[in-house]
Structure 1
Amino acid sequence: MLIRLVSQNVAAGNFIQYRYASSRIKNVKDVNYQYLQRSKVPTMHFQKSLPRLPIPDLLKTEGRYLNALRPLLSDVDYEKAVLTMKDFVANEGKKLQEQLIAKDKNNKHTSYICDYWFDLYLRDRAALPINYNPLLVFQNDTRLEYNNQLIRATNLLTSAVRFMLSLREQILEPEVYHLQPKKSDTPLFRTVTGLLPESLSWYGAYLFKAFPLDMSQFIGLFSATRIPQLNKDKIFRDPTSKHVLVQKSGNFYIFDVLDADGNLLSPTELLGNLTQIVNDNTPTAEYPLGVLTCQNRDEWAKQRIHLEETGNGEALKKIDSAIFNLVLDDESINDNKHKILSEFLHADGTNRWFDKSFSLIVTKDGVSGINFEHSWGDGVAVLRFFQDIYKETTTKPFIHPDSKPSNTNNTVSKLDFKLDDKSKEFVNKARKEYEDWCNSLSIDYILYEELTKEACKKFKVSPDCIMQLGFQAAYHLLHGKYVGTYESCSTSAFKHGRTETMRPCTDRTKAFCDGLHSNKCSKEELRAIMQECSTYHSQLVKEAAMGEGFDRHMFALMKIAEENNLPRPKLYDSYEYKFLNKSILSTSTLSSPNVLAGGFGPVAKEGFGIGYSAFADKLGAAVTSYGAHNDSRQFVEALHKSFIDITKILSG
C-alpha cells in the first residue's frame, strides 16, 4: 500500500504503479518456479466493475441501532435512547446523510468508509501489539521432519515470495466467493470472465453465481511498514524492494531474495542465507530495538526521530522497505497451547517489529504463524496469503531434510545501530513497561469436541450463531447481564469494503440465556428460541456482509459532521451509544482447517478478546482479558458449561 493509498486513492492506479516496479524483470529463469500462481484471469480484473458499498437508508439504520440496544438497556434507558435517535434522524442525521451521499457520489473510485477507516487506525495512539495486531498460527506439517525451524522457515519464505511475485505481475488468482463451486470454480468460468472487459467482468461472474472480492488490500501485504508519527502514523511502501528482514535473538539481518534481474533465488540459495543467520554466534541483543514498537505511538514516534537523528536512518529504512519480516525465535512451544497464544500474540517484544505489515514467525521447534499490523487491511487478504503458502509448503515444499544450503548469492548483512545513552534508556524503559503489560494479560482457550460445525448444520442451526450464543450465555452466567458485543464481518464483496459490525447480542439471545439460567423454560421451548436466534443471527450476518449494518454508517455520519466543522450530535455522547460501542465481548472468526490458532487482545480493559472457529471436529476459541478485571480461565469454564447446555438442548 503506497503512502498515497492511506489518504485518498486506493484505486487500481496504485496497483499499476506497484506492478510497474516489477515489470522490468529481465531474463526470467524457470517461470514455473518464479510464481506461485499463473492465473489466466488478471489479479485486478474484476476490480473496476465491483459494486460500490451502499450507504444504508437512515430509517433502517435507526431501526437496526435500536434493535441492538434493546437487550442491553432497561426500559427507561431504552425509551430515552429511542427519543434521542429519533431526534437525530429528524434533524442533524437527515442533513449529514445528504452530505455523506453527495461525498460518496464524488468519490466513486472508493467506498464511503475506506478513508475514514484508514484514518481511524492511523490516528489511534494505542500500542499495536495486543491492542490491534492479531495472530494466526499454521497447523504443523504432518511430516515431523519438515517442522525443523530452518526447513520450515525456508519453505515459508520461498512460497511467500512466489506469492508476492504473482501479485506483482498480476497473475495471482483473483479472490472469488463461489456460491456453487461445482458450476463456477471451473476453467469455463475463468475463460468467460477473463474474456470480458474489466468494466463488465463482475457481471459475468455474477451469472455464474460467483462473487469476486475486493483485491485492493493485497498490495498492502508486502514491502510495507506503519511508521509512527505524532498524532497520525503513515504507511510506507517500497514496491521495488528485493530484500527480506530476519530477526533472531533481538538482532536484525537482511538479504536479497531477488537477484539483479528480479528473479527469486533458488531454494538452496535461500536456505544458504538463512543457515548463515541461524549459525551466526552474535549474542542476544543487549538493547533490542524491536521492543520500541510495543509502545504508545506518539512515544515511539519521538524515539524514532531521535534514532534517525543519531545516525540510524538508513538501518531503519532497510527495515521499513523489507518485503516482510521473518522472525526466528529461540523459544520452543512443545505443544503448549497457552504458549502458542502468548508467543504469537505478543512475546516479550525483543525479537519483534510490530510495525511491519506482517511478520512470519517460526519457533525453535518449527511452529509457525503470522502476526500482522491491521491498519492496511483485514482478514480476507491475510487469510488468502496464509492458506496459499500453507498449502504449498505442506504439499510441494522446495526444501527437504536432505537439502544442502548453497553459498551462491549469499548477501546476508547484519543491521548495526548506533545507540547513545538516551536510546538505551528508551529500550530499557519500553522493555520493563511491556513486560508489566504482558503479565497483566490473561489468556486461555477452549477446544470443545462434543459439537462440530457439521453437527450444527445437521441440527439446522448456524455454527456461528451457536458459538456466539455460547459467548452470551457464558458472560450472563458469570455476570448476570448483557453487554456490547462486536462480531467483525467483511464487506470485501464491495469495492474498497473493509468490515461491518454484526451485533450478536439480540433480544432472542437474551430470551435464550434468561430462560436457560432461570430454569423457567423447557428444553423444547429453549430449542425453539435457539432456532429463532439462528434465523435472526443469519439475517444480521447477511445484512452486515451486504453493507446493510448500522455501525459504519453512524460512524461515517459522525465523521461528516467533524470534517465540516458542524456541532457534534448529542447522540454520539449519549450513555447508550457509548455503552453499545464499549466492546466488552469483541469477537472475530477466521475459520480454516489450516489454522491451528487465531486471536487478539481485548478491545476494552474490562472486556474479552475472543478469536474463534467452528472446525470439522470441534469448536475452538482463544480468549484474552486483563487479569485486573477478568479471568479468561473462568470465562472458558463458563463457556464450556454453556456449550454442554447447548449440546443437550440440540440433541434432546
Structure 2
Amino acid sequence: MSQKTFENQPKLGRLPIPPLEETLARYLRSIEPLCAPSDLSRTTSYITDFLKPNGLGRTLQQRLIDLDRSSPHNWLDDSIWIKKAYHEWRESVVVNSNWYLMFADDPSTPKECLGIIEKGTFGEWQVKRAAHLIVQILDYKESIDSERLPPDVTRLYPLCMHQYTRCFGVTRIPQHNCDALAYTPHPATAKHILIIARDQFYVIDVYDEKGRRLAAGDIAFQLQQIIEDVKKTELDPPVSVLTGDHRDAWTVAREHLLSIPQNRATLIDIENALFAFSLDDYTSGLNLDDWNRNAFHGLNGHNRWFDKALSFSIENNGRASLNGEHSPCDALIPSIVVDNILKTPVPSSLQKSGFEIPLPRRTRFVTDDRILKDIAAAQERVDKIIADSDAILLHFKEYGAHFMKSIGKVAPDAYMQMVLQLAYYKLHGKVVPTYETGSTRQFLHGRTETIRTLSNESKAWVEAMENSSLSSKEKYAIFQTATKAHSQYTRDASNGKGCDRHLFGLRCCLKEGESHPLFTDPIFAGSQVWLLSTSGLSAGDRFSGTGFGCVYPNGYGINYLPGNAVLKFGIESKKSSTETDSKAFRESVVNALRDMRRMCEDVNGKYNGRL
C-alpha cells in the first residue's frame, strides 16, 4: 500500500541549532580564501571573544534555543525566514526575487506553431495546450489534497512535504514595511483559477456547484469564450503592472484601489484563485533568450500578476512557462510539479465532461486618475528593471551528467559548481563568495541552507587549472579534493549544519543596543556578498530553461539543469554593471566545460557518449 503524502511529517526531526563552536569553525574556514592573514587573525580574535563563557555569543545561543522551544515547527521558518529573507525586502519582485521555468515544447506541437505567430492573435494550439496543462495542474493538486501523492524521500531519509501546501491559492499581499501571504488553508478552498489576457482578468470556475471538476474540453471552451470577449471588449488599464512595482509604491497604490469599494471583490477573485494562467497574444521570438525573458518578466511586465505563488503563461504558439513568487515555497517544489505534469502530452482531442459548465466571468477594477498615474509610474520603474536585466540561456550539448559520473567520477552538482568557479575565475581573474541553495527538507518545514562553494580547495583547483606547468593528472587530483570538499559541505548544510542560517538566527536575537565585532567586521558582510548566486534543479529534460536574478548588481544569478546529455544554464546579470557580462560569462562556462572534459579524459579515458 502506497504511503500518504503527509504520512512522514510526524517522523521528521526539527531543524537543529548547531553548537556555536562548530558553526564558527565552519565560518572561519569558509572565509580563508577571501582573507589576508591579518584579516583572518582579527576575525579569529572576535570569534574567541564571542565564544567566551558568559559572553554575548553564549547568550544569543540560549535565546535562539528559546526561540526554537517556542516555535511549533521550525525556529527559522516559523519565526524569521519569510519575513527577513523576502517580505521586508522592498524592491520589486520582478527579476529581483521571482524565478521562472520554461517548459519543453509538447511532442504534439504542430509544425506551424514552431515559428512566429502573428502578433495580436490567439492560437488554437495555444488554447488546447493551455486547457490540457490546467487539467494536469489540477490533477496534481488533487493528488496532494487527497494525499495520493507519494511523499518525497531520499535513500537516507524522508523529506518534508509542507511546501506542497503553499503552491495553490497563495498570494503575496503588499503591506507597509513587511509584506504578508494571504492566509490560505490546506486544501485551498477556492474553486476557480485566474485567466489573464491583454491585461484583463477573468475567473474560470474549474469545479461546478456539485464539486465536479471540469474536463480539458470544457476549459478549452471557456478559454475560447474569454478570447472572444477580450477581442471585442473595451480594455481596462493594465492594473497588473502595479504588482511589479517597488513594494512600498504597490502597497500605497493597492490601498487606494481598495478605497473604491468594488475593487475588494476583484482582488479577492485574484488573490484567492488557485493559480494564474496568462494567455499571451504574441510570440516572444524563436530565439531561446527572447522566450527566456518573456518567461522571466513578460515583454514589458504586462499580462502577469507577479504576486501569485504560481503564474503560468502561454504564448500564442503554445510555448509555456511558469513564474513563481519565491516567499511561500522554493522553486524546487513547483519544478517537481511541472516535471510531472509534462509527462503527459496533449492528446489528439480534449475530453468534455458532458455536464453543464459555468461560463467564465470577467472581474474588473474601477480606476481613477490617481490609479492611472500609479500605473504609469510603475510602468516606468518596471521598464527600467527589465531593460537592465541581461538574462540569457546556455544549452551545452557536448556532454552531460553521465560524463561527469562515468569519466569525471564526481557528483554532477559538485562538477557543475566547479564549472561556475572556473568560469568566473577565467573571466574575472579572482574568486568570490558563492551561494548555492542547499535543501533542509529532511527537517519539518525545512527550506534552505547556504552551501558556500568557494573553499580553499576550490580556489586551489581553479588556480591549478590556469597553471600550464601542471599536468592533467595533477589538476585532476586537486579537482577531486575540491569536489569532495564541496560534497561534504553540501551534506553538512542539508543536515542543518551550515554556518549561514545559524549566524543569521543569532543576529536576529540581538536586542536593541547590543552588538559584537564579529557581526560588524567587514569580512563578515563581505563573505555574504554573493557575486555568484547559484542553484541547481533536476536534470530538466522536460524543461527548456530556468533562472533567477543576481542578488548583487555586480554579480550573476545562475540556475542550472544537469541533464544526462544536455546541460542548461540560466544566466542573469545587469547591463548597467561595468564588471559583469552575461554573454561573456556564458562563453567562459563553455570554455570551462571543455577544459574540464580534457582534464578528465586525459586521466580516465575518452568518453564514448553512450548513456
- 1:343 maps to a residue whose letter is N
Is the CA contact 1:243–1:255 (under 8 Å) kept in the aligned structure 2? yes
1:55 aligned partner:
17
How far apart in 1 are the matches of 2:405 and 2:440? 24
2:328 is matched with which residue: 376, 382, 385? 376
Aligned pair partner of 1:78 in 40, 55, 71 = 40
DSSP-derived class of the 2:502 partner: helix
Which residue of 2 is the match for residue 346 of structure 1? 297
Could you tell me how far 1:112 is from its partner in structure 2?
Answer: 3.9
Q: 1:440 to 1:507 in 2, by over 3 A?
A: same
Pick the aligned partner of 1:175 from 148, 152, 158. 152
Conserved in 1, the CA contact under 8 Å of 2:67 and 2:75? no
Q: In structure 2, what is the Cα distance between the partners aligned to 1:231 and 1:367?
A: 37
Q: Are positions 1:323 and 2:284 aligned together? A: no
- Measured against aligned partners, the alpha-carbon deviations of 1:285-323 in whole angstroms (never above 9, x if no partner) come to 462111101111111000000001023111111101111
C-alpha deviations, 1:192-231, integer Å up to 9, x for none? xxxxxxxxxxxxxxxxx5x221111211111111010001
State the match for 1:102 in structure 2: 66
Q: Which amino acid aligns with 1:640?
A: V
Q: Give me the whole-angstrom Cα distance separating, in 2, the residues matched to 1:98 and 1:306.
A: 45
Verify the 8 A CA contact 1:114 1:498 in the aligned structure 2.
Answer: no
The residue aligned with 1:609 is 557
- After superposition, where does 1:14-413 map in structure 2 within 5 Å? 40-90=2-52, 91-120=55-84, 121-145=86-110, 148-177=125-154, 179=155, 209=156, 211-238=157-184, 239-280=188-229, 281-282=231-232, 285=235, 287-311=237-261, 312-347=263-298, 348-392=300-344, 394=345, 397=346, 400-401=348-349, 408-413=356-361
Shift of 1:46: 1.1
- 1:521-574, Cα deviation, whole Å (9 max, x unpaired): 22221111001111111111111111111110100111122xx44613332222
Shift of 1:403: 6.2
Distance in 1 of aligned mates of 2:44 and 2:423 = 29
Please give the alpha-carbon distance, in whole angstroms, between the structure 2 residues aligned to 1:406 and 1:420.
Answer: 43
Q: Residue 414 of structure 1 aligns with which residue?
A: 362
Residue 57 of structure 1: CA displacement?
Answer: 1.7
CA contact (8 A) 1:272 1:406 kept: no
- 1:545, 1:509 → 2: CA distance? 20
1:596 equivalent in structure 2: 544
The Cα shift of 1:258 comes to 0.7
Work out whether residues 280 and 313 of structure 2, in 8 Å CA contact, stay in contact via their aligned partners in 1: yes
CA contact (8 A) 1:236 1:320 kept: yes
In 2, the alpha carbon distance for the partners of 1:590 and 1:131 equals 19
How many angstroms apart in 2 are the aligned matches of 1:265 and 1:448? 41
1:444 to 368, 387, 392: 392
CA contact (8 A) 2:99 2:331 kept: no
Please list every run of 5 or more consecutive structure 2 residues that lacks an aligned counterpart in the other structure: 114-124, 603-611
Per the alignment, in what secondary structure is the counterpart of residue 182 of structure 2? strand
Tell me whether 1:551 sits opposite 2:500 in the alignment: yes
The verdict on how the C-alpha distance between 1:406 and 1:284 changes in structure 2, with shifts beyond 3 A counting, is farther
Equivalent position SS for 1:176: coil
Decide whether the 8 Å contact of 1:502 with 1:549 is kept in 2. Answer: yes
Do the aligned partners of residues 128 and 282 (structure 1) sit closer, same or farther apart at CA in structure 2, a change above 3 Å counting? farther
Amino acid at match of 1:170: E
Contact 2:475 2:599 in 1 (8 A): yes
SS at match of 2:570: strand
CA contact (8 A) 1:154 1:267 kept: yes
CA distance in 2, matches of 1:103, 1:286: 48
Judge which range, 420-429 or 89-98, deviates more: 89-98
For 1:267 and 1:613, the matched residues in 2 are separated by 30
Cα 1:402/1:233, change in 2 over 3 Å: closer
2:450 counterpart of 1:504: no
Q: 2:160 touches 2:443 (CA, 8 Å); kept in 1? A: yes
Cα displacement (A) at 1:407: 9.3
Shift of 1:166: 2.6
**Which residue in 1 is equivalent to 2:516?**
569
Comparing 118-127 with 564-573, greater Cα deviation is found at 564-573
2:471 is matched with 522
Measured in 1, the distance between the counterparts of 2:19 and 2:487 equals 21
**Between 280-289 and 294-303, the greater mean CA deviation after superposition:** 280-289
**1:590 & 1:298 partners in 2: Cα distance?**
32
When residues 610 and 321 of structure 1 are mapped into structure 2, their CA distance, relative to the original with a 3 A threshold, is same
Mapped pair 1:586 → 2:563: no
Residue 40 of structure 1 and its aligned partner are, at CA, apart by: 4.5
Change (3 A) 1:313 1:170: same
Question: Paired residue for 1:539, among 488, 493, 496?
Answer: 488
1:229 maps to amino acid: Q
CA deviations over 1:497-527 (Å, ceiling 9, x no partner): 0100001111111111112224342222111
2:596 is matched by which residue type in structure 1?
I
Instruction: Indicate conservation of the 8 Å contact 2:95/2:385, yes or no.
Output: no
* RMSD of aligned Cα (Å): 2.0
2:33 is paired with a residue of what secondary structure? coil
- SS of corresponding position for 1:493: coil
Q: What SS does structure 1 have at the residue aligned with 2:519?
A: helix
Quick check: 1:586–1:602 contact (8 Å CA) kept in 2?
yes
Q: For residues 87 and 285 of structure 1, do their structure 2 counterparts lie closer, same or farther at Cα, with a shift above 3 Å needed? A: farther
Query: CA–CA distance in 2 between the matches of 1:156 and 1:89?
Result: 55
Cα distance in 2 between the residues matched to 1:429 and 1:43: 45
Cα 1:66–1:284 shift into 2, 3 Å: farther
Using the alignment, how far apart are the partners of 1:231 and 1:449 within structure 2? 46
Correspondence for 2:120: none
One-letter amino acid of the structure 2 residue matched with residue 434 of structure 1 = V
**How far apart, in 2, do the equivalents of 1:648 and 1:603 lie?**
33
Amino acid across the alignment from 2:493: A
Secondary structure in 1 aligned to 2:80? Answer: helix
Moved more, 502-511 or 590-599: 590-599
Once residues 296 and 402 of structure 1 are traced to their aligned partners in structure 2, the CA distance between those partners, rounded to angstroms, is 42
Change (3 A) 1:419 1:536: same
Over 6 Å off, 4+ runs = 402-407
Contact 1:151 1:400 in 2 (8 A): no
Report how far residue 580 of structure 1 moved: 1.1
Counting only pairs closer than 5 Å after superposition, residues 623-638 of structure 1 correspond to structure 2 as 623-629=571-577, 630-638=580-588
Deviation of residue 416 (structure 1)?
1.9
Deviation at 1:401, TM superposition (A): 4.5
User: What is the alpha-carbon distance in structure 2 between the residues aligned to residue 89 and residue 400 of structure 1?
Assistant: 67
CA contact (8 A) 1:43 1:172 kept: yes
SS in 1 for 2:305: coil
For normalisation by structure 2, the TM-score amounts to 0.90
Distance 1:270 1:406, change over 3 A: farther
| Matched AA of 2:374 | F
